[in-house]
Amino acid sequence: MTAINRVRRVIVSPTVIALLLSVVLFLIGGVIQPDFLNAAQALNIVRLAAFLGIIAAGQTLVIISGGEGIDLSAGAVVTLGAILTFMIGAGQDSNIPLALAAVLGAGLLVGVVNGLGIIFLRIPPLVMTLGMTGVIQGTILAMTQGAIPGRTPPGLAGFINGRFLGLPGVIYLWLALGIIMWLLLERTPYGKQLFAVGVNRRTARLSGVNVPLVVIATYALSGMLAAFGGFVLLGFTQRVFLDLGGSYLFPSIAAVVVGGTVLAGGRGSYTGTMAGALVLTMVESLLRAMRLHEAYQMITFGVILVLLLSIYGRQRRNQ
């Protein structure tokens, strides 16, 4: 590849387009609502995007793995993670490690069940993870029986919302996750195998990749990352309710797609998803700042989402 091609590819990459778009949207926000345009607002939007971005990390992996991969249980797992942290954390910082372990364990369990169902029972991912959503919600109801005892550990809330060198803790967490995800996808055998599986399962298998293992591991990772997202989100909301995570489910998928990861699998990046989360959060904040009626906010959000998707959500044309 020549240097010019490489530069061109970086410039027109979905990540860069999405990032530029967020800046443009932010400036448009300033034109419409002059008090929108300030550093505190920008920081706030990045902070809100961090939660969506963290929750969308696992979704990115699952979608890259192909085979119509999608994780519709992510929303319920986010709620489960937040509730476990709330109950086990019980307002004590000393309980945070135990709560985190339980959260990751629960996410792992859900993800492995999803993976097993998809691989061995050949249930389409959409249906399997949709079915698991009901099971998780049912488990939460049976477990809490309507009353959720507990409290957010103050240390968690302090870290997520507190400022370090001027930035909220969650932004550092997001950047760290971004680096880990980049290393995972670009510098580990798992990452290579994941893309291979996403492009074509048969050729991946023929070239020695253990396809079932990679797919199950991917859903397991997705479960763990979503549950971790719930853990982080609790630090922000500091209270739990039954559809806490549900409202992040489809935005997380949209963030992945807007970030240039192809739903058909085999191509994508987490940096794209990060930029996608930023764009979606920017649009939402902008609409809120315009103080439109909720109905018109929804309509505008839908129209913008369709426009964003038509920029790079297009399917490859049949040959």
Site residues, other proteins (CB under 8 A): 68, 70, 117, 120-124, 126-128, 130-135, 137-139, 141-142, 145-146, 250, 253-254, 257, 263, 293-303, 305-306, 309-310, 313-315, 317-318
Min dist CB 183 to other proteins, Å, is 28
Contact between residue 219 and residue 88 where contact means Cβ atoms under 8 Å apart: no
Residue 264 beta carbon to other proteins: minimum distance, rounded to whole angstroms: 8
| DSSP calls for 198-243 | HH-HHHHHHTT--HHHHHHHHHHHHHHHHHHHHHHHHHHH-S--TT
Cβ–Cβ under 8 Å, residues 229 and 78: yes
Q: Which of 77/253 has CB closer to other proteins?
A: 253
- Smallest gap from Cβ 226 to other proteins, in A, equals 18
CB closer to other proteins out of 83 and 254: 254
Name residues whose C-beta falls within 8 Å of residue 13's C-beta, 6 or more positions apart in sequence: 260, 272
Q: How far is the CB of 137 from other proteins (least distance, A)?
A: 6
For 164, phi then psi, to 5°, come to -130, 120
Burial (CB < 10 A; 0-12, 13-18, 19+), residue 261, is buried
In angstroms, rounded to a whole number, what is the distance separating the alpha carbons of residues 67 and 288?
Answer: 37
In the complex, the smallest distance separating the C-beta of residue 129 from other proteins, rounded to whole angstroms, is: 11
Cβ closer to other proteins: 232 or 278?
278
CB 40 to other proteins: min, Å: 28
Identify the CA nearest to 248 among candidates 81, 118, 1: 81
Query: How far, in Å, CA of 116 to CA of 258, rounded?
Result: 29
Backbone phi, psi, residue 236, to 5°: -85, -55
End-to-end CA separation in angstroms for the chain: 25
Q: How far is the CB of 283 from other proteins (least distance, A)?
A: 11
Nearer to other proteins among residue 133 and residue 222 (C-beta)? 133
Which H helix or E strand runs over 164? strand 163-164
Nearer of residues 45 and 254 to other proteins, judged by Cβ: 254
Q: Which is nearer to other proteins, 136 or 194 (CB)?
A: 136
The residue among 83 and 253 lying less far from other proteins, judged by its C-beta, is: 253
